[in-house]
Structure 1
Amino acid sequence: MSALSPPVDITTEALRVLHVEDDPDLAALTATYLEREDDRFEVATATRATEGLDRLAEANFDCIVSDYDMPGATGVEFLEAVREEYPDLPFILYTGKGSEEVASEAISAGVTDYLQKEAGTSQYTVLAHRISNVVAQYRSRRAVEETEQKLSQLAEKTDDILFMFTGDWSELLFLNSTFEDIWGIPVERVEENPEAFLEHIHPEDRDHARRSMKRLSAGHPDEIEYRVVPPDDDQRWVRGQSKPIFDDDGTVTRIVGFVRDISEQKERNRRFEAIFNNTYTFVGLLEPDGTLIEANDTALSFGGLDREDVVGKPLWETYWVQSNEETQRIVREGVEHARNGELFRDEIRVRGSDREAVIDFSIRPVTDEHGEVTLLIPEGRDITERKREENKRQQIIDRVTDAIVEVDADWTFTLVNEQAEELYDMDEEDLLGRDFWEVFHEARDTRFEEEYRRVMETREPTSFVEHFSQLDGWFDISAYPKENGGIEFYFVEVTEQRERQHELEQTNTVLSTLFETLPVGVLAEDPGRNVLAANERMFDLFDLPGSPEAVVGADCERLADQVSDTFVDSERFVRRIAELIANREPKSNEELALRDGRTFERDYRPIELPGGEGHLWVYKDITELKEREQALQRERDRLDEFAGVVSHDLRNPLSVAQGRLELAREACDSGHLDAIETALQRIDRITEDVLWLAREGRDIGSLDAVAVRDVIDGAWNIVADRTEHAELRYAGDEFSLVTIEADDDRLRQLFENLFSNAIEHGGGDVTVTVGAVDDGFYVEDDGPGIPEDRRHDVFAAGYSTGEAGTGFGLSIVKRVVEAHGWEIRVTDGTDGGARFEITGVEFTSE
C-alpha cells in the first residue's frame, strides 16, 4: 500500500502573481509594494489582456490581479478568457472603477475576489492579504483533490462498502465497487438515483434505514443493522456505521460511512442464542478476570435489564450483585477459584427488578487445548422458594427476631432468647433465675419501671419508645401480661431510626425556614396537581388573597386560570404550564410579561415525591434587572452610532490628507510639511482614542503571556521616535525575564499613553523610569508632576492641561488597567514628577 504524499507547506512556498495593468508605472509600483509586503511574492506584469494570456501560456502563476478598464479588452473579458483555460486559477479584479454593475459582471464571470483601488499605500497591504488568502485556499483544494484520488484507490481494496453522499442524500459522491458484490446492482444505478440502494433493503427494515438517514442529515452519527436482498441471491445481514460531516457554519454537507457484511456472524449468533437462552437458569459468560461478556435472557429479565446495562462490568459490580457486600465477596472468590481451573459453588442472594432471590451459584472454567483458562461460565438456579420454606421452619424455632425476655410475678428471669443475649451482651445462664431489677438497675425510677409495673398491676399490654441509658440506645418496647402472672417483653433497638428521624426533623426545619425567606415565589404541586406548599413571596408577587397555609390542597389548574389575566398573553401562560408538565423536563429562566409592565422569570422542575412525580415552580420579579439591561443596551447603541460617525466622517478625510502629504514630500521639501504631519498625527491620535473608548474600551482580547520588556521598548520607540533627548530608564533588571498574563495590544497601548503623557508634560528632554513594585510596576518622569487636587481628574475622558494633548490618553490607561482587573494610582515621582503605579499584576518567569 502506497503512502499518501505529505502536504505542501503553503506558508513558505513561493507565490507567483501576474498583475495586468495598462499603466506601466502603477503596475511597477504595485509589484514593488506587494513584494515588500511578503517576501514569498514574485510579481510579473502585463499591460493588456492579450499580453497577460501570453504570459499565462509561457509560465505557471498562482494568482492573477487585473485592472478593469484596459484597452482592447476589459478586466472581465480577460477573466472570461482565462476561465476557458484555467477554470480554478485565483483571479482578483483590482480596479478603480467600482460599481455594482462591474462587481455583478465579475461575479458572473467567476471572479475569485473583487477589490477597489484606494488612495494611499495601505491598500497594497490589503491586496497582499487577499492574494495570500485566495492562493492558500486554491492550493488547499488541489491538495484535497489529490488526497481524495488516492483514498479512492485504497477504497477499492477493502471488503467493506465505503460511501459518501451529500448531506441531504440527494447526490452520491463516492461508492466503491464492493457495493456491487453485496447489493448485486451496479454503482451507476445509485449515481443515477441516490435512493436506488433502498429498493434492495428488506421491506421490514426499509423504514428503519430511512430513519437512520434522517438522523444523519440532522447531524447525529448512527449505527444500524439491516437485511439486504440482492436481485438473484439470498438475503444478507449488514451493519452500517455512518457520521455527518459539517462545514464551518455547522451545516451537514456530507454523509460518510461504511457497510459490512455480517451474515455469517448473525448465523453463529442465532445458533448460540438458541442454546444460551433456552433455559430457566441464569447463565452468563465471563472473561477470566471476571468481566461479564454475555448474560442470557433469563438473567436479564429477572433484573429488568438490557444487555448494555451489565456487559463489560466485573460480575461483582453488576446490578444483581452490587448491593450486597457478602454476595460480592463470594462472587470474587468464585472467579478467583474458577480462573485457577477449579469448579466453584455456593449460595448467594441476588437482586431482581421486583424481588430478591437466593440462587445456587456456580462458576465453571473453560480451557483451551493447552489447558489455559479462556472463559468462565457462571450459572445460577433460583432456590428462593426452597430457602423460604427453610426459613419458615427456622422462624418457628426461633419464634421471632426481637429480643425477648420473660419474668414471673416476682420479677425473676424465666426466658431469654438468643437476640436478647446479643442485645444485653450476656449469656442466658447468667440471666435465668436473677432478679430483673438487679440486672437492669438503671431502669428504676424511669419510664421503664412505671410502664412495667402498670402492666403487672393492670394486666393490660403497653408499647412505647424510650432511651435506655444502661444499654446506650433507643428501644421500641412491647410488654404483655402472661397467664402465670408474669410479663413478656419484646425489645427492638431503634437508635439509628431515631437519629435519622432527628436529622430529618432538623433538615425540615432548615428547609422550611429557607422556603419562607427566599426572595422568590415558590409553589410545589403534588402528583394530582394540588398545592403541596407555597411561600409568602408567591402571594406577594401575584397579589393572591389568603395565606400559604390556606391554599394547601387547592387545585393548581384553577389557580393558574385565576392569575392568568395578570399576564399579557393569558392563554399562553396557562397553555405553557400544561406543556411543561406534559414534557416533564426542567426549564429555567422563562420570561413572562405582565399587563402592569413588570417582567417575571419562571423556573420549572419535576420533583420526586413518595406518591409519584410532583412539580416545583419558582417565580422571580426581574423588572428592575430588565430595565437596567435595556438602559445599558441603549447606551451601547449610542456609543456604536457615535463611533460610526467618527470613523466615517474623520477617518476618510484624514486618510486622504495623509496620502497627499506623502505625495507632497516626494514632490518638494518644505518646513510646513512637518507641521502638517504633526497636526495630522494629533488628529489621528484623537480619532483612535475616541474610537477605542467608544468601541473597544469596554473589554480586552485574549490574555497571553506577554514579555514585559519587549512591550515597554516597543511602546517607547513609537512614542519617542521624534524626541531626540527624551530618555527611558529601568530601575532594575526585573523585567528582563518576566511575563504578564495580558492582552498584548492593550498593554502596549497603556505604556504608549503613559510615555506620551510624560513627554507632553515633561518636554523633549524628559527622563522616564520604569520599575517594579511588590505586585505590579510603575512609570514615573522628572517633569512638573500633577498637583494632588487634580490627580483624580486626570483619568477623566477629555481632561488635558497640554495644548497638544487629546484628553483621552490617561482615560484609556485607566480603562485598560480596569479591564485586566488591576488598579492604578497617581503619586509623586522620585524627582518630583508624576508617578503612576499599577498593582494587582501577576508576573511569571519565562
Structure 2
Amino acid sequence: MRSERPVDLLYVNDDDQLRELVSRQLRAESDRLRIETADSAAEGERLLAERAIDCVLCDHHMPEVTGVEFLRSVREDRPDLPFLLFTNTGTETVASESIEAGVTDYVIQDAVENQAPLLARKIVTYVEHRRAQRERDRTNRRLREIAAVTDQVWWVFSPTWDELRFINDGHEAIFGQPAAEIRDDPTTFLDKIHGDDVARVRQAMESASAGTPQVVEYRVEKSDSVRLWVESRCKPITDEDGAVASLVGLTRDITDRKLYDRELTETVDQLEEFTATVSHDLRNPLNVAAGNLSLAASDIEDDGIDTALDAVGRMDTLIDELLTLAKEGRTLGERRDVPFREIVEKSYENVRAPESSLRVTDSVTLACDPARVTQAFENIIRNAVEHGGSGVTLTAGVLPDGGGVFIEDDGPGIPPEERDLIFEKGHTTREDGSGFGLAIVERIVDAHGWEVRVTEDPGAGARFEIAT
C-alpha cells in the first residue's frame, strides 16, 4: 500500500504472543498503520480516552470484559468509530450480538493463513470512508451555515431531477413554497413558474441533464399578488467516467435588475427620439445657413464668408459627435467574430486621407459590434491625421501577448501631461477640434468590456493599445 495519511489503530487482545504477532504482520503489510496495543478492555478504554484512535481491532474472548461488551461501551461515545472483531473462535450468537451492538466488521482468525493483508485493507478502507464522511459532513455544515444567511436559493438535484439532495431556506423566500414540499416532490417548483416560461425551463433542465451548463431567466408566481423575475444557473457535475452525477445550481431574484433594464430601455428610446428631433431642428437652419453662405461666396470674395462657412462646418461636426455621445448608453448591437485587419482597413478607408498610409502587421479575430468598433478606429485614425499631418504613416497590429490590438502613428505624439486628459469629453488641443472623438473611442471600448490606453514612448508618435 502506498504511504498516505497515517492510520492510528488500537489492537486489543489479552494473548501477548498473538497480539505481538498480528501487530508485527500489520506493520509489515502497511507503513500507514501506527499501532497501539492493549491487553484488556480496560486498558483499551484508557488509551481511547488519551489518544486519537482511528480504528479498533479487538479479540472477543477476553477475561472480565469480552470484545462485544467492549464494543457496546465504545459505541456509547463513538458511534461511528470503525471497530473490527478479530477472534479465533466465533458463533452465530457472538456474530449476532456484535452486529446488534454496531460492529463494523467481524473476521474469524485462520490458524493457517496470514490474514494481515485482508485486515490491513479493511482497516484502511473503513478509516478512509469515515474520514471522507466526516469531511462531507463538515462541508455540508459549512454550506448550510453560508446558505442560511444568503437570499439566494442553493440546490443540488440528481441528474434526472427526481431527487432533491440539498436546498436551503432561500427557496421559500423566492418561490413561496416550503422546502419540505419540494423535498417530497422535487419538481413541484415548476408549479410556481409562469405558464409561458415553463417549457423554456424544462428545456434548460433537459440540457443540464445532458451535461450542458445552463443560465435561464423566468417569472415566478410567488403568490396571487407577487410576481418575481429570477435567474437560475445550473452546472452539471460529472464522475470519473464523464457521466452526469449531480446538478448543482443557484437561483436568485433579478426583479430589480429587470425593472432597471426596462426603465433604461425606455430612457434610451426617449433619448433617441430627443436626439433625432434635435438633429433635425439643428441641421435644417444649418443647411440653410451653409447654402446661403455658399451662394454668397460664389458672388463675393470675402474672408468673413469663408470663416463663417468653416464655422458652420464645425457646428455640423459637433452635432454628429454630440449625438454619438448622447447615444453612448445604448447597448451594443449583435457581436460577431470579425478580423481586426478587415475592421481597421475599412476604418482607414472611411477617413479618406489619401496622402497618409496604413500598414497592418498582424491580425486577430475580434468578437465585437463591427459598426461601433469601426467608428472607434475611425476616430483614432482621424486623430492621427489631424495631429500628424495628411502624410502621416499608421501601423496597426496585435499586441505581443496576443491580448489586444494597437494603432500607432509617426506623428508628434502626445505630451505626457496630456495623456490623462485625452479621453475626457471636450478636451482638444486644436482650435477647430470638438474634443469628443477620443471620448467616443473610450465609451465604445468600455461597452465591449475592453480597455484603451496610450503608451508613453516620447517622440515616437501616438500609440493606442486596446486590451481585449
Q: Which residue of 1 aligns with 2:35?
A: 42
RMSD: 5.2
Q: Which residue of 2 aligns with 1:210?
A: 202
Counterpart CA distance in 2 for 1:247 and 1:207 is: 29
Match for 1:375 among 436, 439, 443? 443
Structure 1 position 149 matched with structure 2 position 141: yes
Q: Which residue of 2 aligns with 1:194?
A: 186
Question: Number of paired residues?
Answer: 319
Counterpart CA distance in 1 for 2:207 and 2:93 is: 44
Q: Please state how far the C-alpha of 1:185 moved relative to its aligned partner.
A: 3.7
Q: Which residue of 1 aligns with 2:232?
A: 240
Question: Structure 1, residues 386-412: CA drift from partner, whole Å, max 9, x if none?
Answer: xxxxxxxxxxxxxxxxxxxxxxxxxxx
Match for 1:336 among 347, 371, 377? 377
Q: Please state how far the C-alpha of 1:256 moved relative to its aligned partner.
A: 1.7
Question: Structure 1, residues 323-349: CA drift from partner, whole Å, max 9, x if none?
Answer: 99758864776422335898xxxxxxx
8 Å contact kept, 2:347–2:377: no
Q: Please state how far the C-alpha of 1:41 moved relative to its aligned partner.
A: 0.7
Question: Structure 1, residues 681-736: CA drift from partner, whole Å, max 9, x if none?
Answer: xxxxxxxxxxxxxxxxxxxxxxxxxxxxxxxxxxxxxxxxxxxxxxxxxxxxxxxx
Map 1:387-466 → 2, pairs under 5 A:
none
8 Å contact kept, 1:24–1:47: no
Counterpart CA distance in 1 for 2:138 and 2:85 is: 28
8 Å contact kept, 2:344–2:377: no
Match for 1:294 among 332, 335, 338? 332
Amino acid at match of 1:294: L
Counterpart CA distance in 1 for 2:267 and 2:130 is: 61
Counterpart CA distance in 2 for 1:114 and 1:200 is: 52
Question: Structure 1, residues 566-611: CA drift from partner, whole Å, max 9, x if none?
Answer: xxxxxxxxxxxxxxxxxxxxxxxxxxxxxxxxxxxxxxxxxxxxxx
Which structure: larger Rg? 1
Match for 2:9 among 9, 17, 20? 17
Q: Please state how far the C-alpha of 1:237 moved relative to its aligned partner.
A: 1.3
Map 1:264-275 → 2, pairs under 5 A:
264-270=256-262
Q: Which residue of 2 aligns with 1:138?
A: 130
Structure 1 position 255 matched with structure 2 position 247: yes
Q: Please state how far the C-alpha of 1:228 moved relative to its aligned partner.
A: 1.0
Counterpart CA distance in 2 for 1:32 and 1:129 is: 15
Quickly say closer, same or farther: Cα 1:182–1:333, change in 2 above 3 A.
closer
Q: Please state how far the C-alpha of 1:249 moved relative to its aligned partner.
A: 5.9
8 Å contact kept, 1:35–1:43: no
Counterpart CA distance in 1 for 2:167 and 2:136 is: 18
The alignment partner of 1:149 has SS state of helix
Quickly say closer, same or farther: Cα 1:196–1:369, change in 2 above 3 A.
farther
Q: Please state how far the C-alpha of 1:138 moved relative to its aligned partner.
A: 1.9
Q: Which residue of 1 aligns with 2:116?
A: 124
8 Å contact kept, 1:66–1:75: yes
Quickly say closer, same or farther: Cα 1:324–1:250, change in 2 above 3 A.
closer
Structure 1 position 62 matched with structure 2 position 103: no
Question: Structure 1, residues 81-104: CA drift from partner, whole Å, max 9, x if none?
Answer: 755643321233445569999999
8 Å contact kept, 1:68–1:74: yes
Quickly say closer, same or farther: Cα 1:326–1:60, change in 2 above 3 A.
closer
8 Å contact kept, 1:12–1:40: no
8 Å contact kept, 2:9–2:33: no
Amino acid at match of 2:134: R
Quickly say closer, same or farther: Cα 1:62–1:262, change in 2 above 3 A.
same
The alignment partner of 2:218 has SS state of strand
8 Å contact kept, 1:34–1:41: no
Q: With structure 2 as the length reference, what TM-score do the two structures score?
A: 0.52
Q: Please state how far the C-alpha of 1:207 moved relative to its aligned partner.
A: 3.4
Q: Which residue of 1 aligns with 2:339?
A: 317
Q: Which residue of 1 aligns with 2:315?
A: none
Counterpart CA distance in 1 for 2:200 and 2:89 is: 58
Q: Please state how far the C-alpha of 1:241 moved relative to its aligned partner.
A: 0.9
Quickly say closer, same or farther: Cα 1:339–1:219, change in 2 above 3 A.
same
The alignment partner of 1:238 has SS state of strand
The alignment partner of 1:228 has SS state of strand
Question: Structure 1, residues 815-839: CA drift from partner, whole Å, max 9, x if none?
Answer: xxxxxxxxxxxxxxxxxxxxxxxxx
Q: Which residue of 2 aligns with 1:162?
A: 154
Question: Structure 1, residues 764-802: CA drift from partner, whole Å, max 9, x if none?
Answer: xxxxxxxxxxxxxxxxxxxxxxxxxxxxxxxxxxxxxxx
Counterpart CA distance in 2 for 1:137 and 1:369 is: 69
Counterpart CA distance in 2 for 1:219 and 1:76 is: 49
Q: Please state how far the C-alpha of 1:367 moved relative to its aligned partner.
A: 7.1
Q: Please state how far the C-alpha of 1:68 moved relative to its aligned partner.
A: 6.0
Q: Please state how far the C-alpha of 1:63 moved relative to its aligned partner.
A: 0.4
Counterpart CA distance in 2 for 1:105 and 1:143 is: 30
Amino acid at match of 1:262: I
Identity of aligned residues (%): 33
Q: Which residue of 2 aligns with 1:413?
A: none
Amino acid at match of 1:375: R
The alignment partner of 1:202 has SS state of coil
Amino acid at match of 1:43: E
Counterpart CA distance in 2 for 1:249 and 1:72 is: 52
Q: Please state how far the C-alpha of 1:165 moved relative to its aligned partner.
A: 3.3
Amino acid at match of 2:157: F
Quickly say closer, same or farther: Cα 1:369–1:91, change in 2 above 3 A.
farther
8 Å contact kept, 1:79–1:111: yes
The alignment partner of 2:196 has SS state of helix
Counterpart CA distance in 1 for 2:97 and 2:380 is: 79
Q: Please state how far the C-alpha of 1:242 moved relative to its aligned partner.
A: 1.3
Structure 1 position 226 matched with structure 2 position 218: yes
Question: Structure 1, residues 128-154: CA drift from partner, whole Å, max 9, x if none?
Answer: 344234323322332332233223222
Normalized per residue, which structure has more strand?
Answer: 1
Quickly say closer, same or farther: Cα 1:215–1:376, change in 2 above 3 A.
closer
Question: Structure 1, residues 397-438: CA drift from partner, whole Å, max 9, x if none?
Answer: xxxxxxxxxxxxxxxxxxxxxxxxxxxxxxxxxxxxxxxxxx
Counterpart CA distance in 1 for 2:269 and 2:175 is: 33
Counterpart CA distance in 2 for 1:111 and 1:250 is: 36
8 Å contact kept, 2:157–2:246: yes
Q: Please state how far the C-alpha of 1:193 moved relative to its aligned partner.
A: 4.1
Amino acid at match of 1:202: H
Quickly say closer, same or farther: Cα 1:109–1:251, change in 2 above 3 A.
farther
Counterpart CA distance in 2 for 1:277 and 1:102 is: 84
The alignment partner of 2:19 has SS state of helix
Structure 2 unmatched runs, 5+ = 273-323, 351-370, 384-422, 428-435, 446-468
Amino acid at match of 1:317: P
Counterpart CA distance in 1 for 2:233 and 2:164 is: 17
Counterpart CA distance in 2 for 1:217 and 1:99 is: 50
Amino acid at match of 2:251: V
Counterpart CA distance in 2 for 1:97 and 1:227 is: 68
Counterpart CA distance in 2 for 1:27 and 1:90 is: 19
Q: Please state how far the C-alpha of 1:227 moved relative to its aligned partner.
A: 0.8
Q: Which residue of 2 aligns with 1:817?
A: none
